[in-house]
Amino acid sequence: MKKILFYFMTGVILVNSIAFAQDITIDGNGNLTTGTSNSYGNLKVTGASGEYAIVGETSGTGAVGAYGKNTGSNNYGLLGSDSYGVYGNSANGYAGYFEGNTRVTGNLNVGGSISGENDPTVNANVKDGVDWTELTGVPAGFSDGIDDTSGSSMWSLSGTDVYYSSGNVGIGTSAPAGKLDVNGDICLGSVCRTTWPAGSGSGAFTDTGTSAYYTGGSVGIGTTNPGSLGSTDTRVLHLVQPVASLDNAAAGIRLEVDGIVKGGITSAYNQTSGEGGIFIGSLSNHRLGFITNSMEMMSLTPGGNLGIGTISPIQPLHVQGSAYISDNLGVGVASPLHALQVRGANSLFYSNTGDFRLFLSKGLSSGSSSIVFQDNFAGHAEMGLSGDDDLNIRVSADGATFIDSVTINQATGYVGIGTRFPDLARLQVLSSADTALHAENTGVGNSLYAYKEGEGDAVYIYKQGTVGSGLVIHQRGPQPALIIKNEISGVVSEIMVVERGGNVGIGTSTPQGKLDVNGPIYQRGAVLHADYVFGPDYHLESIDEHSGFMWNNKHLPAIPKAAVDETGKEIVEVGAHRRGIVEELEKAHIYIEQLNKQIKEQSAMIQLLEERLSKMEARM
């Protein structure tokens, strides 16, 4: 085969020995050398479609597929040498020189510097990217990759800022569809995204010239998954501030007008204390207003006064207009138990018009509209309408059970003390267990004065029950406790006197004993005599029965047993005692009559026996 190729090549050379004698030389070792230039260079090889014109193939360390060298400048280039696809070396000129577009699909590693024309036109497609800060030897005016030497560049500098004022900018695309069109990831901090929500315009946000808006959904700052405020809302602005490396973290919106009026909305959290919250307010010395229907309805001043219906509150809470509170309201009370609960030393209700009325209204006639006075939250007095429409004052010792004290009838104006239904007099006092009315005077003047003209009684005292008194007169001075006078034809006389020592005089003003009556005494009653002893229905005990009761009980049956009062003194009911004496006297006369009859019978029997005894003795 080598011989055939040799003969073929030899024939070619011989045939063309005149034209190529100086262009191609093949030495005895088979090396081919070119040295004569032509219009295409020293060597031109043309390949057909789909073929490689020149292929240099080798293997092993240090082997080179193709080697080109300029002995004058000592520049050389290698193809397929070790790990390099192309390797160029130049002592004075360019290691590599490219005219036209250059495509690099891998990394571009420049160990030296890159230089070029004063105004180069670069069309490069770099897969992994080149950072201008990694390059050295860049011509003046190209330190940032932008031609700053003339005004012809599309990019402009403003201090340290770079801007582009016309057309669209494409990164990763040669046909940008918007002001900035990035074909690939966009990273904000550590968050990178390839796709973003679509807007109604050419980008997510629509520019109207002076405003920008977005209608596609929620917007997240610091989060890739903005959440909603509830179950139905779909459009929110969601701000997130990580707290992993911060002791205090906050995320919010800052609002400012020319550096004068400042405020915002923020959410804050402290990892050390665990405290946090949502805050809205003013950061400058200006009020915080709340607007609805284009009107400021609520305002918070820098001093902390909150106004509702006014923008100039003068107190911590200032309500201009009516207020509705559906639950309990506490003034100085953290947990009020009633509709209005006030805690303080004094409470003032004031009207600058001179008139003040406090209205308490109830919804039902059977309900209550009253004021309850408490001691340590236990009610002890109540004044108002309780259960009906009469004014009532009630008191309670235990805070649970109330006693009616004073009632004023709403129709008649009658006043009742101890009764809810005063209907007998303007003042009606009722007591079921204690003194109904007690009048006491320790100085000069009358304890009780009643004056009456015309018909009727000056004083009418009505008492029910068996316990307590209808009238108690308590006199501490030396004068009589009670004097009853009578006036006839202008002549006043004392008809009854009760002295301080307890003596009672009737018909005399100087009683000499506990009861001194100047005149006859009459006693009236149902039974004042004991004549019933002689009636057929009266049970008269025998003498032995009477005697047994008398000695066993130490008193006669018809006379009440001796009794003492609360001071230990004996007390007797005169009428009963007198009737008992008469009854025992009449029974004694019956017993005498019975004994007299028995004595007569016994005397006759004795006489008969004596006569019989005399006869017997005579016979003996």
Q: Residue ranges of the domains in the chain?
A: 367-442+460-474, 480-521, 523-619
pLDDT at 245 over 70: no
The answer to pTM > 0.85 is: no
pLDDT at 123 over 50: no
Residue pair 511/504 in contact (Cβ under 8 Å)? The answer is yes
Pairing of strands 84-89, 124-126: unpaired
Instruction: Please report the pLDDT score of residue 50 as a whole number.
Output: 62
Decide which of 589 and 179 is more confident: 589
Instruction: Please report the pLDDT score of residue 381 as a whole number.
Output: 92
% of residues, the chain, pLDDT over 90 = 13
Supply the mean pLDDT for the chain.
77
Q: Please give the sequence-ordered ranges of beta strands (E in DSSP) within 94-179, or none if there are none.
A: 102-104, 124-126, 156-158, 161-163, 169-171
Q: How confident is the model at residue 126 (pLDDT cuts 50, 70, 90)?
A: very low
Cα separation, 582 vs 590, in Å, equals 12
Find residue 408's DSSP bridge partners.
391, 415
- Per-position DSSP letters for 292-325, written without gaps between them: ETTEEEEEE-TTS-EEES-SS-SSSEEE-S----
Find residue 384's DSSP bridge partners.
370, 392
At residue 585, the 3 state secondary structure works out as: helix
Cα separation, 112 vs 126, in Å, equals 18
Q: Residue 361: phi, psi to the nearest 5?
A: -120, 140
- Whole-angstrom CA distances from 421 to 257, 383, 457 are 73, 16, 21
Q: How many CB atoms lie within 10 A of CB 414?
A: 19
Q: Residue 150: phi, psi to the nearest 5?
A: -140, 170
pLDDT at 407 over 80: yes
Decide which of 150 and 355 is more confident: 355
pLDDT at 475 over 90: no
Which DSSP category does 591 fall into? H
Question: Looking at residues 321-348, what average pLDDT do you find?
Answer: 86
Q: Which residue is it, tokens 């990035």?
A: 182
- Whole-angstrom CA distances from 267 to 238, 252, 304 are 11, 6, 21
- Whole-angstrom CA distances from 141 to 132, 363, 537 are 13, 90, 153
* 303 Ramachandran zone, left/alpha/beta (phi>0; psi -120 to 50): alpha
Question: Looking at residues 420-434, what average pLDDT do you find?
Answer: 82
Instruction: Please report the pLDDT score of residue 172 as a whole number.
Output: 86
Instruction: Please report the pLDDT score of residue 100 as a whole number.
Output: 66
